[in-house]
Amino acid sequence: MTKKTIMLVCSAGMSTSLLVTKMQKAAEERGMEADIFAVSASDADNNLEAKDVNVLLLGPQVRFMKAQFEQKLAPKGIPFDVINMSDYGMMNGEKVLDQAIALMGN
């Protein structure tokens, strides 16, 4: 499997950084090469331009921006969804990684 780039978007990029760490650990345990990172909603556009993002996950606290991201991502063909609130709250890196993998279709 080629290296996958998973971008998480939240309001400030802070709380999500712990989730990123847990997702990276889960990816390593599976032998999956992944670039997983979190950005604030205001930095999302810059990162979408700079990186070849395979999937984008919105933190539950910015789910109100879903329609906005849908317009940005549809032309690029980047799948995205809102992170399950309970998985986010429990900082369940494995389940959120599973969600990203399912969205990518592999």
pLDDT (tens digit per residue) in 18-27: 999 999 999 9
Confidence band (pLDDT; 50, 70, 90) for 1? low
pLDDT averaged over every residue in the chain: 94
In the chain, what are the domain boundaries? 4-104
Asked if 29 contacts 58 with a C-beta cutoff of 8 angstroms, the reply is no
pLDDT tens-digit series, residues 58-92: 999 999 999 999 999 999 999 999 999 999 999 99
Predicted confidence at residue 16, as pLDDT, reads: 87
Predicted model pTM: 0.94
Q: Give the Cα separation of 79 and 25 in Å (integer).
A: 22
Angle at 37 between CA 34 and CA 20, to 5 degrees: 85
Query: Which residues are tagged catalytic?
Result: 10
Residue matched to tokens 């992170």? 83
Taking residues 38-48, what's their average pLDDT? 94
Residue matched to tokens 């205001």? 42
4-104 in CATH: which number? 3.40.50.2300
